[in-house]
Amino acid sequence: MLITEVFKKIKFSMNTDRIGPDIPFTHWKLHYKSSMLKLCKKKFLYFDHTADFRAYAYAIYCSQISIGKNVVIRPNTMLFADDFAKIIIEDNVMVGSGVHFYVNNHKFDRKDIPIIEQGYYPSEEIIIKEGAWLGANSIILPGVTIGTNSVVGAGSVVTKSVPENVVYAGIPAKLIKKIT
Protein backbone atom coordinates (compact mmCIF):
# COMPACT_ATOMS: atom_id res chain seq x y z
CA MET A 1 0.00 0.00 0.00
CA LEU A 2 1.25 3.49 -0.83
CA ILE A 3 1.06 4.81 2.75
CA THR A 4 3.24 1.92 4.00
CA GLU A 5 5.72 2.56 1.20
CA VAL A 6 5.84 6.27 2.15
CA PHE A 7 6.64 5.46 5.81
CA LYS A 8 9.30 2.93 4.73
CA LYS A 9 10.84 5.54 2.44
CA ILE A 10 10.92 8.16 5.24
CA LYS A 11 12.70 5.68 7.55
CA PHE A 12 15.13 4.78 4.75
CA SER A 13 15.86 8.48 4.08
CA MET A 14 16.74 9.14 7.72
CA ASN A 15 19.12 6.19 8.02
CA THR A 16 20.66 5.72 4.58
CA ASP A 17 24.33 6.63 4.09
CA ARG A 18 23.55 8.88 1.13
CA ILE A 19 22.18 12.26 0.12
CA GLY A 20 20.62 13.27 -3.19
CA PRO A 21 17.48 14.14 -5.09
CA ASP A 22 16.60 10.44 -5.13
CA ILE A 23 16.23 10.62 -1.31
CA PRO A 24 13.42 13.22 -1.21
CA PHE A 25 12.68 13.19 2.52
CA THR A 26 16.14 14.54 3.36
CA HIS A 27 16.93 16.26 0.06
CA TRP A 28 14.67 19.26 0.83
CA LYS A 29 16.98 20.10 3.74
CA LEU A 30 19.70 21.12 1.29
CA HIS A 31 17.64 24.19 0.32
CA TYR A 32 18.14 25.84 3.75
CA LYS A 33 21.57 26.52 5.25
CA SER A 34 20.80 25.43 8.82
CA SER A 35 19.10 22.15 7.85
CA MET A 36 21.78 21.50 5.18
CA LEU A 37 24.54 21.86 7.78
CA LYS A 38 22.73 19.66 10.31
CA LEU A 39 22.13 16.91 7.72
CA CYS A 40 25.67 17.04 6.29
CA LYS A 41 27.36 17.10 9.71
CA LYS A 42 25.32 14.04 10.67
CA LYS A 43 25.94 12.07 7.46
CA PHE A 44 29.49 12.89 6.32
CA LEU A 45 32.76 11.63 7.81
CA TYR A 46 33.65 15.33 8.15
CA PHE A 47 31.77 18.39 6.92
CA ASP A 48 33.20 21.80 7.74
CA HIS A 49 30.74 24.43 8.96
CA THR A 50 31.88 26.76 6.12
CA ALA A 51 31.18 24.14 3.41
CA ASP A 52 28.03 23.98 1.29
CA PHE A 53 26.29 20.97 -0.27
CA ARG A 54 23.80 22.26 -2.85
CA ALA A 55 20.49 20.70 -3.87
CA TYR A 56 20.70 18.25 -6.81
CA ALA A 57 24.16 17.02 -5.84
CA TYR A 58 24.59 13.36 -4.83
CA ALA A 59 26.78 11.64 -2.22
CA ILE A 60 26.90 7.86 -1.71
CA TYR A 61 28.63 6.39 1.38
CA CYS A 62 28.68 9.84 3.02
CA SER A 63 30.35 8.31 6.09
CA GLN A 64 33.46 7.82 3.93
CA ILE A 65 33.53 11.36 2.51
CA SER A 66 35.26 14.39 4.03
CA ILE A 67 34.48 17.95 2.87
CA GLY A 68 36.83 20.71 4.01
CA LYS A 69 36.66 24.44 4.67
CA ASN A 70 35.01 26.70 2.02
CA VAL A 71 34.19 23.77 -0.30
CA VAL A 72 30.94 24.04 -2.31
CA ILE A 73 29.49 20.86 -3.82
CA ARG A 74 27.34 22.04 -6.72
CA PRO A 75 24.31 20.52 -8.52
CA ASN A 76 24.82 17.33 -10.56
CA THR A 77 28.03 16.43 -8.77
CA MET A 78 28.34 12.75 -7.83
CA LEU A 79 30.56 11.73 -4.89
CA PHE A 80 30.59 7.91 -4.97
CA ALA A 81 32.71 6.39 -2.17
CA ASP A 82 32.31 2.93 -0.64
CA ASP A 83 33.07 0.97 2.55
CA PHE A 84 36.69 0.45 1.51
CA ALA A 85 37.85 3.81 0.12
CA LYS A 86 37.31 7.41 1.11
CA ILE A 87 36.91 10.62 -0.85
CA ILE A 88 38.82 13.42 0.88
CA ILE A 89 38.27 16.99 -0.32
CA GLU A 90 40.63 19.29 1.55
CA ASP A 91 40.16 22.97 2.45
CA ASN A 92 39.58 25.67 -0.19
CA VAL A 93 39.05 23.21 -3.06
CA MET A 94 36.75 24.49 -5.82
CA VAL A 95 34.50 21.96 -7.52
CA GLY A 96 32.57 22.94 -10.67
CA SER A 97 29.07 21.62 -11.24
CA GLY A 98 28.62 18.07 -12.51
CA VAL A 99 31.98 16.72 -11.30
CA HIS A 100 31.96 12.93 -10.74
CA PHE A 101 34.18 11.02 -8.27
CA TYR A 102 34.33 7.19 -8.27
CA VAL A 103 36.47 5.01 -5.98
CA ASN A 104 35.84 1.64 -7.60
CA ASN A 105 35.74 -0.30 -10.87
CA HIS A 106 33.61 -3.33 -11.72
CA LYS A 107 35.63 -6.46 -12.52
CA PHE A 108 35.45 -7.43 -16.18
CA ASP A 109 38.18 -10.10 -16.63
CA ARG A 110 35.88 -13.03 -17.38
CA LYS A 111 33.99 -13.69 -20.57
CA ASP A 112 31.79 -16.48 -19.19
CA ILE A 113 29.76 -14.46 -16.69
CA PRO A 114 28.16 -11.01 -16.95
CA ILE A 115 30.16 -8.08 -15.51
CA ILE A 116 27.34 -7.41 -13.05
CA GLU A 117 28.15 -10.76 -11.36
CA GLN A 118 31.96 -10.37 -11.28
CA GLY A 119 32.26 -8.06 -8.26
CA TYR A 120 34.74 -5.22 -7.91
CA TYR A 121 38.50 -4.62 -8.07
CA PRO A 122 39.91 -3.22 -4.80
CA SER A 123 38.59 0.30 -4.21
CA GLU A 124 41.06 3.20 -4.19
CA GLU A 125 40.85 6.47 -2.28
CA ILE A 126 40.49 9.85 -3.99
CA ILE A 127 42.19 12.90 -2.44
CA ILE A 128 41.78 16.47 -3.68
CA LYS A 129 44.47 18.54 -2.01
CA GLU A 130 44.16 22.05 -0.60
CA GLY A 131 43.26 24.82 -3.04
CA ALA A 132 42.79 22.71 -6.18
CA TRP A 133 40.10 23.58 -8.78
CA LEU A 134 38.14 20.89 -10.64
CA GLY A 135 36.45 22.27 -13.78
CA ALA A 136 32.81 21.51 -14.54
CA ASN A 137 31.90 17.97 -15.61
CA SER A 138 35.34 16.54 -14.93
CA ILE A 139 35.51 12.88 -13.85
CA ILE A 140 37.95 11.75 -11.15
CA LEU A 141 38.67 8.01 -11.33
CA PRO A 142 39.69 5.57 -8.51
CA GLY A 143 43.06 6.15 -6.83
CA VAL A 144 43.58 9.69 -8.12
CA THR A 145 45.13 12.44 -5.99
CA ILE A 146 44.95 16.00 -7.31
CA GLY A 147 47.89 18.03 -6.01
CA THR A 148 47.75 21.28 -4.06
CA ASN A 149 46.70 24.31 -6.11
CA SER A 150 46.32 22.32 -9.37
CA VAL A 151 43.59 22.84 -11.99
CA VAL A 152 41.60 20.21 -13.90
CA GLY A 153 40.01 21.47 -17.14
CA ALA A 154 36.28 21.24 -17.77
CA GLY A 155 35.16 17.87 -19.12
CA SER A 156 38.46 16.11 -18.35
CA VAL A 157 38.73 12.45 -17.38
CA VAL A 158 41.48 12.15 -14.75
CA THR A 159 42.90 8.61 -14.84
CA LYS A 160 46.20 9.21 -12.99
CA SER A 161 47.28 11.42 -10.09
CA VAL A 162 48.07 15.05 -10.85
CA PRO A 163 51.06 16.78 -9.18
CA GLU A 164 50.78 20.14 -7.41
CA ASN A 165 50.70 23.54 -9.18
CA VAL A 166 49.83 22.30 -12.68
CA VAL A 167 46.94 22.51 -15.16
CA TYR A 168 45.75 19.15 -16.54
CA ALA A 169 43.00 18.80 -19.14
CA GLY A 170 41.54 16.47 -21.75
CA ILE A 171 40.66 12.79 -22.02
CA PRO A 172 42.75 11.32 -20.54
CA ALA A 173 43.84 14.44 -18.62
CA LYS A 174 47.40 15.52 -19.52
CA LEU A 175 49.68 18.38 -18.49
CA ILE A 176 48.83 21.56 -20.40
CA LYS A 177 50.84 24.00 -18.28
CA LYS A 178 52.71 24.50 -15.02
CA ILE A 179 51.64 27.22 -12.59
CA THR A 180 54.84 29.13 -11.89
Ligand X SMILES: CC(C)(COP(=O)(O)OP(=O)(O)OC[C@H]1O[C@@H](n2cnc3c(N)ncnc32)[C@H](O)[C@@H]1OP(=O)(O)O)[C@@H](O)C(=O)NCCC(=O)NCCS
- 41: helix, strand or coil: helix
Q: How far is the CB of 87 from ligand X (least distance, A)?
A: 18
Helix or strand or coil: residue 9?
helix
Query: Which CB sits closer to ligand X, 62 or 158?
Result: 158
Residue nearer to ligand X on the CB measure, 25 or 100 = 100
Residue (of 72, 147, 141) closest to 100 by Cα position = 141
Q: Which is nearer to ligand X, 13 or 149 (CB)?
A: 149
Question: Smallest gap, in angstroms, from Cβ of residue 119 to ligand X?
Answer: 33
Classify each residue of 80-112 as buried b or exposed e, where b means 16 or more C-beta atoms within 10 Å of its C-beta.
Answer: bbbeebbbbbbebbbbbbbbbbbbbeeeeeeee
Residue nearest to ligand X (CB): 153
Residues labelled catalytic = 106
Interface contacts to ligand X, rule CB under 6 A: 94, 96, 135-136, 151, 153-156, 167, 169-170, 176
The full DSSP string for 105-144 is -B----SSS-GGGS-BPPP--EEE-TT-EE-TT-EE-TT-
Shortest reach from residue 135's CB to ligand X, in Å: 3
What is the Cα 35 distance to its own chain's centre? 20
Q: Which is nearer to ligand X, 45 or 167 (CB)?
A: 167
- How buried is residue 55: exposed, middle or buried, by Cβ count under 10 Å (0-12/13-18/19+)? middle
Q: How far is the CB of 30 from ligand X (least distance, A)?
A: 18
